[in-house]
A and B are shown apart, each in its own frame.
Chain A
Amino acid sequence: MEERRYRSASGAPIALRRRQHSASCRELAVRCPRLQLHSLSASTSAAWLAAYGLFVLTENSMVLSAAIFITLIGLIIYLHFVKIDQESLLVIGSLGIQVTSSYASGKESTTFIEMNQVKDVVINEAIHMQKVIYYLCILLQDPGDPQGVSEVVPLFQSSKPRLDCLIEVYKSCQEILEQRKTAPQSS
């Protein structure tokens, strides 16, 4: 198992961890930048200052309790549905590719794509706002057309690693995907 530091597309530090479980099974996990204490305290203080200002205007103490309630609920929703802690890719040759996103509250959302549906794993370019960024994606096979692509599944959307990190992940995946081409096909 090895861990290396890289940078995301916006400059935040991220870490890539590679584990080789067996000859045909690899796990690649990208850890996103954590929730910063200063941004959390800044947003909470801003919300409460606004609520205090409203309280001074309206003399209604419900405003204060409502502000506390909203801040708590907002924080819980943010941690459970928005903030992604780690995105990982588990490639098991001959079974499939599993994409997992773990949220800050511990929730994990997983998708498993079977190997016969995977056409290839490639690095694409995209124009995002004023930048051109690279992203890794899985191309899914179109069942009707052997040359066609039915769907593109982008990976690492929240951590957005830069090209150097993506090349490492790409190389690891391709080593395992090539095994299925060299393996004798059973009818």
Chain B
Amino acid sequence: MVLKVFFPSCCSSAESGILIGRWIPEQNSAVILAVVHFPFIPVQVKHYLSEVQRVTKVSVSVLGSWSNSKQEKEESLSEFLEDLGTIFSHEPWIQISKEGDSKFWSCSTLQKHSNNPKMEEVILVYYDQRKVMLSHLHPPLDAATSTDHRAEDASKLSAIFDTVAKSKTLFMTDRYDDGPIKLTHWQSDGVEASILVELMKQASVPACMLLTFLLSLVSGVCRSRVLKFWPLSFLWSKLSTCEQLGHRLRHLQVISSNKKAQTQTQLMRKANIFVSLLIDVALGVLLMSWLYRKNRIGHLADTLIPVADHVAEELQDLLQWLMGAPAGLKMNRALDQVLGRFFLYHIHLWISYIHLMSPFIEMILWYVGLSACLGLTVALCILSDIIALLTFHIYCFYVYGARLYCLKIYGLSSLWRLFRGKKWNVLRQRVDSCSYDLDQLFIGTLLFTILLFLLPTTALYYLVFTLLRLLVVIVQGLIHLLVDLIDSLPLYSIILRLCRSYRLAAGVKFRVLEQQDGKPLRLLMQINPLSYGSVVRTYRLPTYSCYPKDSWTSLCKKLFLGELIYPWKHKGEKQD
């Protein structure tokens, strides 16, 4: 079988020594992690390797020898290196030698216990140690779901990535340490660290504790019995602002927990939540500064009442139009007048309430606008709630119209069955034939005709108010879509993919380097980053809203029958 040697490109110019790394027998490949230089005492090397093995759980061992000679190949050195093979017994013993500045190295193996002395082919794969150590390999989504054959068929490449990632302690010793072992790896010129990162790590512990304490206070207040009485709890469940605030509170709790993230997904989730909150609050503060400059909020409050008045006037005109002969249709005069007057009185009440509240509107809006500093999503939710409150009369009209229409439709269908001599059997849930008395038939037919001729009027009112309600629902839906987008977008992952694309790996790619006959095949292994679509799909933050489960046909059916539609349900709400 072909022997694959994964060699770190940082060790290409290292002095002669022995190679340490991990041997993966199933794939016949050797992952070289570092080069140990002369002079060394073999016993100390073995002791050091067993220490590393204990800490990292990676079976690190001496794999072979590396000779980097500036002059011609020395015979004594090659014999010395072969003798080393007997001290550190490893099967097969790999010997790599580089002459001068030549790019083409020779690589041979010594097999002591093999029966066939055939020279096997060697493939030399160079890899960037630091990038492979930091990167996280993402399996394709369908492979991630089937976990039965995980252990055997685990991606062969993930074994290599794991080996390098888990050997972090090996890379902690640099050449300025005074130990008995002198190593060369990617960090042997000095351990990398950043002062800012260390300072932030030190500062984060007390900050997290403070945040946890504050959050526990706030959630204690929210959960107190005072706020659970019936009118208030109903109000909280209907306002989307409270949902959003609760969602963000949960996010804050996730960030401020003291437990360190165990897996990569947890770490990315925490980072995504943190960046999302930061951007949200920054945009909210920007919005707030824009609103409060030049007293724009005062202007907004001043225009709110005239807008509400205008909407009410338009509705009144609409009702007058319906009470006349709308679109040339002939309505039943009496029913028309009754319904029209009822709705007009309703609007009159609504306008009076708005005018009652008008002196306080500016102050309420001013204080409510301050809550935009909690985030842009909160501001958008408040906007959606204000729209819902201002169009409450449209919602009421829709409910009245729908209930009236629904009653009419049920009455009509039941009396139609009577007209044909049938009845709905509730026990058997089917239509059965039934013999009615003459007076039952007479009254039933009379009622049927009355309802039938009153149908166009009710249907028209129902149609008009349903369309208005759907318009308001669409506007609110768009706002919620925007809020969801801001909530669920994994900004940290996207920025990471932009700036440090090697951290999120979809796979690897190989590039064939210059070849020379007789020398092993040289390949360069580079990291193939994840595409932006997969990044968003993998690291999306879960949100609390679920989109309507009704298909278009069931929605149309509900509209036709006059059943009330609730397009946006939140997760956790009881389903009707």
Least CB distance from A5 to B in Å reads: 24
Q: Is the CB of B1 within 8 A of A95?
A: no
Q: Is the CB of A143 within 8 A of B149?
A: yes
Question: Cα distance A110–B2 when bound, in Å?
Answer: 24
Q: Which of B40-48, B446-454, B506-514 is found at the contact surface with chain A? A: B506-514
Given the complex, which residues of A lie within 8 Å of B39, measured CB to CB?
Answer: none
Given the complex, which residues of A lie within 8 Å of B146, measured CB to CB?
Answer: 143-144
Given the complex, which residues of B lie within 8 Å of A95, measured CB to CB?
Answer: 4, 123, 125, 510, 523
Q: Which of B151-159, B166-174, B285-293, B386-394 is found at the contact surface with chain A? A: B151-159
- Among B4, B26, B507, max chain A CB count under 10 A is at B507
Q: Is the CB of B510 within 8 A of A112?
A: yes
- Report A129-187 residues with CB < 8 Å from chain B CB: 143-144, 183-184, 186-187
Given the complex, which residues of B lie within 8 Å of A93, measured CB to CB?
Answer: 2
- Among A21, A22, A116, A144, max chain B CB count under 10 A is at A22
From known contacts A25-B521, A94-B2, infer whether A112 and B121 are also in contact, taking CB-CB under 8 Å.
no
Given the complex, which residues of A lie within 8 Å of B306, measured CB to CB?
Answer: none
From known contacts A95-B510, A110-B528, A111-B507, infer whether A116 and B156 are also in contact, taking CB-CB under 8 Å.
yes
Q: Which residue of A lies closest to B512 (CB)?
A: A21
Given the complex, which residues of B lie within 8 Å of A100, measured CB to CB?
Answer: 509
Given the complex, which residues of B lie within 8 Å of A90, measured CB to CB?
Answer: 510, 512
Q: Is the CB of B515 within 8 A of A98?
A: no
B258 at the interface (CB under 8 A from A): no
Question: Cα distance A111–B509 when bound, in Å?
Answer: 7
> In the complex, how many residues of chain B place their beta carbon closer than 8 angstroms to a beta carbon of chain A?
26
Partner of B523, one of A92, A114, A144, A184: A92
Partner of B512, one of A27, A186, A187: A27
Partner of B1, one of A21, A144, A184: A184
Q: Is the CB of A92 within 8 A of B510?
A: yes
> In the complex, how many residues of chain A place their beta carbon closer than 8 angstroms to a beta carbon of chain B?
24
Q: Is the CB of B521 within 8 A of A21?
A: yes
Partner of B509, one of A94, A98, A114, A116: A98
Question: Cα distance A98–B512 when bound, in Å?
Answer: 11
Q: Mark B134-159, 1 if CB is under 8 A from A, else 0.
A: 00000000010010110001011100
Partner of A110, one of B123, B157, B509, B515: B509
Question: Cα distance A21–B515 when bound, in Å?
Answer: 7
Given the complex, which residues of A lie within 8 Å of B257, measured CB to CB?
Answer: none
Q: Is the CB of B521 within 8 A of A22?
A: yes
Q: How many A-B residue pairs have CB under 8 A?
A: 66
Partner of B153, one of A25, A92, A116, A187: A116
Q: Is the CB of A98 within 8 A of B510?
A: yes
Given the complex, which residues of A lie within 8 Å of B4, measured CB to CB?
Answer: 94-95
B28 at the interface (CB under 8 A from A): yes
Q: Mark B1-20, 1 if CB is under 8 A from A, else 0.
A: 11010000000000000000
Question: Cα distance A95–B507 when bound, in Å?
Answer: 13
Q: Is the CB of A186 within 8 A of B149?
A: no
Least CB distance from B506 to A in Å reads: 9
Given the complex, which residues of B lie within 8 Å of A143, measured CB to CB?
Answer: 143, 146, 148-149, 153
Given the complex, which residues of B lie within 8 Å of A102, measured CB to CB?
Answer: none
Least CB distance from A102 to B in Å reads: 12
Question: Cα distance A144–B148 when bound, in Å?
Answer: 8
Least CB distance from B555 to A in Å reads: 37
Given the complex, which residues of B lie within 8 Å of A184, measured CB to CB?
Answer: 1
Given the complex, which residues of B lie within 8 Å of A186, measured CB to CB?
Answer: 1, 25-26, 28
Given the complex, which residues of B lie within 8 Å of A22, measured CB to CB?
Answer: 121, 123, 515, 521
From known contacts A25-B521, A93-B2, A183-B1, infer whether A112 and B507 are also in contact, taking CB-CB under 8 Å.
yes
Given the complex, which residues of A lie within 8 Å of B149, measured CB to CB?
Answer: 143-144
Given the complex, which residues of B lie within 8 Å of A110, measured CB to CB?
Answer: 509, 528
5 shortest A-B CB distances, which residue pairs? A22-B521, A110-B509, A94-B2, A143-B149, A143-B153
Given contacts A25-B123, A93-B2, A144-B146, 11 further A-B contacts (CB under 8 A): A24-B2, A24-B521, A25-B512, A90-B510, A92-B510, A94-B1, A100-B509, A114-B156, A114-B157, A144-B149, A184-B1
Listed by A's residue number, 18 A-B pairs whose Cβ atoms lie within 8 Å are A23-B121, A24-B2, A24-B521, A25-B521, A92-B523, A94-B2, A95-B123, A98-B510, A111-B507, A112-B509, A143-B148, A143-B149, A144-B146, A144-B148, A183-B1, A183-B2, A184-B1, A186-B28
